[in-house]
Every structure is written in structure tokens, then in C-alpha cells.
Structure 1
């Protein structure tokens, strides 16, 4: 008797099967992009009727479970009944529903520019696909923000009263009706143009301030994204880190160099003297509840841990290594490099160089958590106090040994 064994599935086949049988949701998701790419469809990330048809066909062809295929969104049905006739009208929403008027914060001055915070609630219906963007209109001015956002900060040209209205646009470019108008009046604007004084503070470890030794070579920075970034997100991260490295180098006189990606994990014990193979500054991306974020949930941006020499004499403590972890949720958000989340990473990098928060609620300094510095929420930039502090821990202090 001769027996035969079916060949084992290859790693590639198993990977495809995992993508095909995963659970999906109707509308936009990053996972849907990967599925559409496998199916040979346009990878726009929107799981709609076309994607569902192709998905079911391939699953049935391969004899795989259809458990993870989402059902189409429910429709609204109105039934009118008389003694002799029943009329059923099916209403399918293709456009997002009209939104409630936006909430407006009190206007304030930031770097000589009037700024206002606008927030909103999502529409009750997104229509034939999920919300792609929100459009905000005030007179002849319009702004567009990502569909994942629920608030934004807008720069205004003058301190004149004006109205704001908002609408949602879905991934099929269908726009809902404009909301009712919300108003801000002349009296709501500040009357002073006083520029805030620079605010800064240096960190202390056992009574000493913290800095890197400029005579120990270039400070290297590496990124371990753990495969959690797609190609576009990885490009945004690398371009962003190159830019921040250049800015910090200019402010400190230290040579900070972004050296690309690594597989080094968060360090569990002191790594010893520089240079560090995994990067003197190691940035990892991982889910909340793991690594440095083991005690944090998704409401937190990330966590840090510094490794110091411990033997430096005088007024300085030497940094040997510094670890930063950013939650996967925020690291993959559209707001990471095109919105305010960039400011949180800048805050962490300031901490890596010995800067400390000068206090809460100081919008003009990045080192005040959530501050926009000399920029805006969507485009944060270092404040004057931040720049002074970087100079105080810079290369002008000379060698540590």
C-alpha cells in the first residue's frame, strides 16, 4: 500500500490565508488596504460592496471560512400598513448626515496670531462609506481635517466675530449638508498682544543636571517600528526624525544623527558606555500595555526611560542611553506627522537631552505637555524657552571627563 501526504502550505500561503480569514469591518481600515492589495483591487482601505464580493469569491474558491466577512451596513426601512395594502420604502443613506454645530473655544493669542479651538461630534450616519475628512467653513475661509479627528486648532486672520460650520465627507467624496452655524464674537477675542516670556527648566538626577558628553562622538538615534508601520508611515517617520535631529543639533551644538531602523528592543538593563549598537536614543513603536508602556493604556502617547552614568562628578550627570516608546495607535495616526502628535514626540526628545517641563498650560513651550511652542497645534515648533534650555545642556559646556 502506498500513502501520500499533502504538501505543507508555504509561509507565503499561510500569510495570505491569515489576511483572507481575518475579521474586517465595513468602511475604512488599514487592514482592508492589505486585503485589497492581495485581491488585486484598488487599495484605498475602504471595505465596501466591491471588496466584499471579491473577498467572498476568493474565500469560496479556496474553501476558507467566511466568518470574518462583514455584513453590509443596515438600511432604514419605513413600513406603511392599511387594511388592504403594505408599502415598504427602503432608504439607503449615501451622504453623511447633517452634523450638530461645532463647539468653539475662547480665542487666544499664540505668537502674535489669533487661534481658536474647534471640536465636534461625528455625524449619526457616514453614508455609503466611512468619513474621510471634515470641512470647516468660516466666511470665505475653509479648512480640511482628517476624518479620524474630533477637534482642531485654527489660525484666524483678525479679531473679528465670525461664524463656523462643519460637514463630513466620506471616502466616495460625498459631502453632507453644512451644520448650523456656531458664533464667536468680537468681545470673545483678547485685547492684548503681549508676548509671553520664555519659560524653561532643566531636569535633575540626584541633584545634578543631565546632558550628553559631546566628546564621546555623535549621538545616534534609531527606530524599531516592529513591522507596525506601512511604507508611507515609515517614510513619514524617517523624514520627521531626520528633521528633528537637525533641529536639536542646531540648538545644542551636539551631533545628533538619525541612523535608520533597528530590531533592538527596549533595554532591560544598563547597556554600558556609548556608543550603543541599538542607538544611543532608541525609539520603539508598540501597543499600549507592553514594554515601557506596560502600565499604560491607549489614552497615553508613550513612555520613556533614561540610562545614566551614575559616576559623573560636579554639576552634571551623563546620559549613556535613552529609550522612548510610542503607542502603536498614535504612531500610525494621520496626526502623528501631520498634526499635534508630533509635539508630544518633541517633548520626549527634549527630555532625552535633559529638559524638563516648566509647568502645565504654557502653550508657548513644547516642554509644557501639549504646548505648541512658537507654532500651532497642527504644526508645533520649539518655543523660545525650549531653545534656551537646549543651549544650556549643549556642547558649549565642554567634555564631561
Structure 2
């Protein structure tokens, strides 16, 4: 383990560029692939890129707000108290790594957006307290939980939703009891949780290579003005009743919404929940805005890079590269091996289109039609696709951007450790589908 980890770290540190540079390089890879493999002209590929560039503006804004509202929530006095208690539990670096990995994967299981924020903030707070702890490894442990496919996993949820685009293609609905909550998927999920803990608990960098957490920016002291000396505007800015009154709008809406549809979370609702809690748990609009100011810098990577991957997605889709990759895996598959190859193909395409829902809309119809024609197991194919999408997220810095923004690290600081977890989790998931192929 130590030898492999050292090798992966050395390779990543020497050859992995900044996440922004990587996005540019991948853009050129897709651009050349479209020209030389799909016989498209350079002008056509640039047109495809231009059409796709703006397609993730809404999704990018959603991700910025997930991160920002989650960060604001984490800076509330109550959240700080809870974090202080939780982060006081581990006394050694190994205990800190194990706790962070477990809390992160549990949070991501509930909702991936929620998990990314909790994992980042927890890693930062643990890093402040535990001495001798290698902070990049801790952040990698927090990011490792992102692989989990839980109740907010879009692919199996869409497949079970009446009127979804797969149903319009003539494919039957697949209930989540056959996918997310099937016995084999629950067993595999449990194994992955245990192995995440074991892998990061047992990673021990040499003492001379340990980089502890350091506060890069000192928080400015909060200068309080006596209420009698405040202007009318300052009294409004420091009035808790304004937070509470405005908070009634999202609070009432959430209550009415959940009474109709049950506790069915999506990205917009997660943002609204974080916003509501942030309003009620901060002492004033001024306190809320100060927390926003602290958190805004963490979102800069998302703002810049989401459009680049949207452009890549546009080129992959319009040029036919996604179809070509998918059909190649179909051609080498049988009914028994198709879920395994679906997992591998989804993992490959995910490097260029790191959005589960977007990838499912593009690649899903091809794979599902092929599964039906081959007589492959449909629920297994759906979950293979979902796990493939999450699997290569560990070596694709796209989804690590919120975490890295909060932690103040670059992708190369954590990706060497993430490569190890990618290998281990890939063996577990591939092995599961190999075993299922014999059943």
C-alpha cells in the first residue's frame, strides 16, 4: 500500500496540472477525437463547443449556491458548536481520517451536494485540531465519500419516475427496490463504506512529508456597535427579526412541498433548506452576509470550469463520440457481461462529461436499448451506469472543486490518494458485477 501510494502521489504531483489546465487539455482531446475519429471539421467542433458552453449555466449556479449556502450554514454558531464536539472526538491522525471518511460518505449518501459541503467543512475543522495530521490526505478522505450512490442518485430515480424520457423510448419503469435498494446493491454499498474507512485509516505518510492545516486568512475581528449608537440602517442590518420574517417564505414553501411529495430531495430543495437554516441560525442579516463573504471565494473554480465541461459535453454529443464509445462496449458484450461493460463505459465517458444526469440523458438511451436487445439485466445495467458515473469522479477534479475551494488546496494535493481509492472501489464494483453475471 505504501509503495503504490508513494508512486501514485509522485506521478500526480509531477504530471497532473491544475484543474483548470486539465479542463483545457481535455477540451483539446475531445476536439481532436471529433475530427479524427468522427470526421468532423475543426469549425464544426468549435460550433458544437459553442452551443454546449452555456448549457450548464443553470446547473453551475445551482452548484455555487449549494456550496455557498452550505458554507454559510456551517458558519452559524450552532453548527460551530456541533462541529466543535464532533471534531473533538478523534485524538490521533488515524482516528481523524476514519471519522472524516465515515461522516463524509454518510452525508453524501443522504445527498451528494450536502455531503460535499459537510465533508469540506469537517476536514477543515478537524485539520485545525489534530496535530501530526496530513491535511491533503484528510481532504482526500472527505472527497472519497462522493462515490456513494444513495437516495439522491439521479439515474435510478429518473428510471423509476413515470413519464421519464426512457419510458418515452418504450422502456419500462424500473422501481428503486430493484436498483438502489436491491440486496446486491445494498451489500456492495456496505462493503464500499467499510473499505473507504479501512483504506484511509491505514494511509500513513512519512513524518517528513506531513503538511498540517494552516489558516491562510485570518478572520477579521467582529467590531460590534452599541445599539444606541446605530443608525436606522444599521439597526435593520443587525435585526434578527428580519431574518426570521423573510425565512418564513422558504420555510412555508418547504413545508407545503414536502406535505405533497414527501421528503424527496433534489438540488433546488437542498439549496432552499440550507438558505432557510442559515437565515434562522445567524443572528442578523449582517452576520449572514459576513458568512457569505467568507464562503464566496470557495466557488471560483465552479464558476470558471463548469462552462468548459459543458462545452466538452456539447462536442462529445454532437460529434457522435459518446455514441461511438457506447457502441464499442455494446459490441464486445453479452447479456451476462453487459452490466460490467456499462460500468466501465460510464466511467470512461464521465471523465469528459462529469454530470450524472447529463451523461444519462446522452449515453443512457443507447445503453438501455442495447441491454434490452441483448436480454441483459435492466436494474443491474442502471446501477452499473450510476456507479460508473461516481467511480471516476475520484480521478476527475471537477466534483472536488467545492471541497478544494473550502480547503484551500489544489487537485494535485489530493489526487494521488484518490487514485488508490479509485483502484480499490473499482475492484469492488467490477467484482460485484462479475459475480452477478454468474448468478
TM over 0.5: no
The normalised TM-score by structure 2 is 0.20
Whose RCO is larger (CA < 8 A, sep 6+)?
A: 2
| Higher helix fraction (1 or 2) | 2
| Higher strand fraction (1 or 2) | 1
Structure number with larger C-alpha Rg? 1
The normalised TM-score by structure 1 is 0.22
